Structure formats: structure tokens, C-alpha cells
A and B are shown apart, each in its own frame.
Chain A
């Protein structure tokens, strides 16, 4: 028959208590000093490092996005400026072309006018020349005619001159 007394594991034994206390206290001391302390410290440090790295990454990302926004803004500004410049250039071009056209037109007009003037002058000169030539010819003819009729030369010339004046061209 088994009695409670045979169930030795439920009887607190001084020897076992003494050894458990000694071994556990020693274990506690040695482990906390040589094992848990370095492990927990390195864990803490690593956690802080990781947190730091994550924070930094977040900051970098934020900065990056800020930078990107700025870049975009700059780009947009540049684009706008380009458009402005292009517009201005176009305007300037149009203006220059218009001016040039105008000037060319004026020059052309002036040239045409002067050419017309020249032509007129030439025509007048040619007419005068023609008149002179025709007068000379008329004189010559008249002279020949008159030569026969007018022997006296001064009388002849006066007569011719009165004749030429009568046939003045309009």
C-alpha cells in the first residue's frame, strides 16, 4: 500500500531547498551579469539603431518628396518661362517681319517713284532732245528750203526761229 509519505516529491527537503537556492541565486547573478545584460543592451541598441535608421529613411523620403515638389515647381516655372519667351520671340519676329515688310514696301514705293521720276525726266530729256533734233531737222529742212529762198543767212535764221516757237509742243 502506498502512503502519502512515499510520495517524496511533495515533502520539502532542506537539502534540495538549500541547493536550489544556491544554484538559482548563482544562476541569476551570473546570467544577469554575463548573459542577459549584454544581450538586452545589444538588443536595445539594435532597436534604437533600427529605429534611427527608419526615422532617417523617413526623413530622407520626406526631403526627397519636398525636393521633388520643388523640382516640379521649378520645372513648371521654367516651362512657363519658355512659353513666355517663345511668345515674346514670336511677337518680336512678327513685329520685325511687319516692320521689314513695311520698310520694304516704302522702299519699293520710293524706288518706283524715283524710277517714275527718272522715266519722266528721261522722257522730258528725250522729248527736249527730240524737240531739239526735230527743230534742227526742221531747221535743216527749212534751211534747205529756205536756202533756196533765203540767201541771206541772218534773215533766214530769224524766220526759222519764229517758226520753231510757233510749233511748241504741249
Chain B
């Protein structure tokens, strides 16, 4: 029974990952074409950054890259990546935004507290003002590199992006703000990938309540209210049959207890129950809220590596902090294996396994949710691709005819994945906890 379940899960996971990858690979082609189309002719500039971008043909309206506010051809890949990304402000409709608090820290400047409304965003989430050196580009906060601009509010005319070669020789996208006709280079927020994924530590850190943080808070509050109501009902209706919301919540709790915790952890399951339940409902809640295609849903929270990383690290910490002697003995010095073999193979593999287990937890959840969102976004993009971004009505109709059933199918599948991934994360956490507290077998 369990093996069939595992097989099905594996099948769904690999299918999703494949569709996600296929989609990603497919996206690159039109983008390249679009990129080239947007760079029809060169134009010399006087900014120092021009030297770096000299090999790239520049956009028509801007001196240091192609303009972000200029209308360009619809690009499904860019669109999908933009929509699954975190953002500092939530786009509602047209030029309306749900503004969120910004908590920014630059070592050279200290803390800055503001709201995204300070940037006066109007189009594509691009702000028209800078605030103490910060600007809003595609609803993401960036920082002007020029220290002379790090105070007060300055009008920003436009934003540009250009492809440059980084210090490591890898190409990357850099952004500029056009202030007083000058191209001012921008820094993205610091990330902890050490430059492996094109990020790295920059001049500032963003601790803002972003779209993802906002969604997390909303989900947590909703879940707490629902569970509090169910808990109150449980206490108040003691000795009576469960009813209503309580009757909806309790089967989930008993499911986690009887199907996940008890069989995998064994007699010591009770102390892990709060974590397993929390992680299950946290992931499930975020997955489901992320499926709602409009505000306050649609945020791709569990499809963001930072979030899955945090959860996986917690599983890692709990596993290793509650592990018993037996577990450590088996990890570090496997009994019944020759010492040479232990030192050369077994112990390194086991130690690697300690890290790999939570690593797979992190990747699995992230990849499934991100892939699902990207496939849905790609299917929705069909309408715009077929309709030539609103130029062809007949094409749009054909696009809708193709898009609606495909999107519907994907959304249904995603609903399943939402439950499945929450279950898998919880299940595997329980398996790791179970291994950590397993008592030695007496044969």
C-alpha cells in the first residue's frame, strides 16, 4: 500500500518537474528573439556604465539599456518568472497596488522604514520617485549605487535593463534608473546564494513585509482563527459528537497522527506532533492560498526556496537535536562494518545524507509548486501569444479555447499537488524523526 502511494507520488513529482523543465527550456527561445528585436540600433552614451554594455545594442528610448516602461513584445517566460517572484507591493488591477511596509537596511546608511506607496508606482510596478536612495523596479525594491542620491526623494524618469558580464564572467541582467537624464546603476537586494545563482551580498538587505511575508501572515492568522474555533469547540463540546468546523479539522489531525506520526516515529510520536501538524497546515494553507489567482492569493510562497529552506532547516535541526545514541552510532560509526570501509565510504555518505535529506525536502516542495505555477502561467500566456498581445481577436479566441481547458486541468492537478506536497513534507519529516529516535533492535 505504502509503496504504491510512494510510486504515485514519485510519478506525479517527476511528471511535474518534467513539464516545468520543458516549459522553462521552451521559454528561452522567444525571449532571445524578443531581446534582439528590442535592440534595433546602437546609440553611444556618456555614462561610465556604457563601456560595459557597449557590446549590446541599446534600446531606442534609453541611453543605457532598453526601457522597462516601453511596451515590448509579450514574453511568456518573463511573464511567468515575474509572477512567481516575490514582490514588495501587490499588484491589484491596472495601476492599483496593495502597498506594503518596507524595512530596508544598508550597512552604509542604516535602517530605512517606509511603504511602497512612497515610490509612487504606476506602471508595471515601476516607481516614479526614489526614497532615500531606494527605488521600486517591477514592484521590487532596488538601491541606487550613487551615494549622492541616497537622501530625500528624487523623480525617476525611467528604468532600464541591460545585459552585462559580471565579475565572474557570467552574463547577468543589470538595472539602471534614469534620473535627471543620467543612467544610475542599481543594486538588487542581498541574497545568500554566494553568487552561484546570480545573486550575492550587495549594498543593502531587504527585510520588508513582501507579498510572500504578507501572504504568510494572512495564512497563519486564518489558520489560527480556524483552529482556535475548532479547539474551542473541542473543549466546549466535550463528551458530545463533533460538529461543523471541528468535524472538518479533526480528521486532518487524526490523519497526521495515525497515518504519519505513529507509524513512522513510533511510541515517541507525541512530542513531534505539534511540529508535524504546524508544518502540514502551514504548507497546505500556503499552497491553497497560492492557488487563488487574485488578491489576496496568488503569491508563490511555498515555491520560493527561502521558505522551503527555512522549513527544511527546522526539520534538520529537530532531527539532529532529538536524535539518540543509536542514531549517531549508525551515522558516524556503523557497527559491523570494517573500520577502513567506515572511514572511506560509510561515514562520509551518512554525514552527507544528514544534509541531503532536508535538502531534498527543500527542493521537492519548491520545485513542485514553482513548476505548477509556471505551467499554469504558461497556459494562461497562450491567450496573449495566440492573440499577439491583443492585436488579433481571433487569435485570442483560439488562445482562450486552448488555454481554459489546459489551465483548468493544471489547476485541478495543482489542488492535488497542494495536498500531496504538504503531506510528503510532513511524512518525510516524520520518517527522519523516526530514524533519529529509533531504538536499537534486539535480535
Query: Which A positions have Cβ atoms within 8 angstroms of B?
Result: 1-21, 23-24, 26-28, 30-32, 34-40, 42-43, 45-46, 49
Contact = CB atoms under 8 A, between A and B. Distances in A.
B198 A39 contact: no
B35 A24 contact: no
Nearest to B369: A9
7 contacts: A3-B163, A8-B199, A19-B216, A23-B216, A28-B274, A39-B231, A42-B235
Nearest to B275: A28
Given A4-B197, A5-B173, A45-B238, A14 B86 contact: no
Given A6-B81, A24-B282, A15 B27 contact: no
Nearest to A18: B207
Central interface residue in B140, B171, B197, B300, by most chain A CB within 10 Å = B197
Given A15-B206, A19-B210, A23-B217, 16 more contacts: A2-B78, A3-B173, A5-B199, A6-B78, A8-B86, A9-B84, A9-B85, A9-B370, A10-B193, A12-B305, A14-B192, A15-B210, A23-B220, A30-B224, A32-B274, A39-B250
Does more than half of chain B's interface fall in helix, strand or loop, or is it mixed?
helix
Contacts of A26: 220
Ranked nearest first, the 9 interchain pairs of A and B with the lowest CB-CB distance are A5-B198, A32-B274, A35-B227, A16-B306, A42-B234, A11-B191, A20-B310, A38-B231, A11-B199
Contact of A15 (B207, B227, B231): B207
Contacts of A32: 274-275, 277-278
Given A3-B172, A5-B172, A31-B227, A11 B198 contact: yes
Contacts of A1: 28, 31-32, 35, 163, 171
Contacts of A17: 192, 306, 309-310
A4 B208 CA distance: 23
A10 B163 CA distance: 20
Contacts of B336: none
B47 interface: no
B65 interface: no
Interface in B67-89: 77-78, 81, 84-86
A82 B184 CA distance: 118
Interface string B214-246: 001100100110011011101100110010000
